[in-house]
Amino acid sequence: MRIIAFRLLTALSAVAIGLLSISFTAFSGRYASVISEVEVLKLLDETMTFGRVDIPPPPDIYNINAQFVEGRLSVLRNESRWVLAFELICYEPGACAYEHRIWLYGNCIRGQVWWRIRELPIPIYEEHLWDNTTGAFLMPRDHIRIRYDDQILEFSPTPAEYAAAGILFPPERQHTNDIEPLELLAYLCWKLNSPFFLSREELEGTVRDAVDEETGDLKLIFQTREWQHPNFDEEEHPSQLPGIQLLAHLVATGEPAVWEQLDPEWVNTRFAQVVQRNWEFIYPPSHPPSMGESPVYLLLPFSPDEWEEVPAENDESNE
């Protein structure tokens, strides 16, 4: 059944990609460019990598410890300076939290890479939302009631709404009424029209704080939710991807219209696509471990107060 579900999700994703119309937001402002595509690609290869310990790790949409729900890519530049901002909305099971993560890359960033993680104002660690015995998330699928900032939001989602949000429940949960925290965040992003990204003013202010003093004003010229992101598990370098090559051309020319050349089949930043890639991690087999085998909990939620006990043979304090 899991294989059938995976194939079904693959088919649905293929249809979605085939019907995808690449959307982006272009902003006014043209520049006589002294920025080269080679410069952009070279810098991204050098800084958007797991191969260095002196800079933060790159945005990884397939990170199983910070589950991707949606992302946004922004381009800011002037005559000679440029910045790429990658924003990811994630669920981090280990922290029992929803998060906004942002990375800044460019030829004017202090320290080469700038990043920040902040928790979204949707507390899911509240005790009444969890079963302290099983660690299960107790939110019913057909009646969502959650605190957002100082408001209480209530929804009664339909199966059609979940499908529109890119959520496909595994076969064993087709007729249950439960929902996982990752699925809840995906629904909220869809239902609330992606409210968790930075506003334009917040984004430009964040960039100002991260760049060198001599950079000057940087203007937002382009934003998109759909791009081709490196798969770091497969050791892809940004410069190898045609979608990133096109992005470098956009940065160098300052012309957002070049994004119309993006092939929809390159796009891999949709929630359903990432879930498909991480299917066995997000929905691991439910059979109990065999004798002598420890259970592996990769993405399933824990009770906030639950901690794994270190086996005596692995406890260094006993040596």
**Per-residue pLDDT tens over the stretch 56-68:** 999 999 999 999 9
Give the pLDDT band (50/70/90) at residue 280.
confident
Report, as an integer, the average pLDDT of 86-104. Answer: 97
Determine which of 28-37, 93-102, 163-172, 257-266 has the lowest per-residue pLDDT on average. 28-37
Question: Is residue 90 scored above 70 in pLDDT?
Answer: yes
Question: Is residue 294 scored above 90 in pLDDT?
Answer: no
Residue located via tokens 């969502």: 144
Residue 85 has what pLDDT? Answer: 99
Pick from 271, 280, 242: nearest CA to 61: 271
Indicate the SS3 state at residue 202.
Answer: helix
Helix (H) and strand (E) counts in the chain: 8, 8
Percent of the chain with pLDDT over 70: 80
Q: What is the Cβ-side half-sphere exposure of residue 7, based on CA atoms within 13 angstroms?
A: 3
Structure tokens at 178: 């439960």
Residue 281 has what pLDDT? Answer: 83
Question: Is residue 105 scored above 80 in pLDDT?
Answer: yes
Structural element, H or E, at residue 13: helix 2-19
Provide the residue count of the chain.
Answer: 319
Residue located via tokens 């994630």: 90
Higher per-residue confidence, 193 vs 283: 193
Structure tokens at 202: 């917040």
Question: Is residue 7 scored above 90 in pLDDT?
Answer: no
Report, as an integer, the average pLDDT of 157-173. Answer: 94
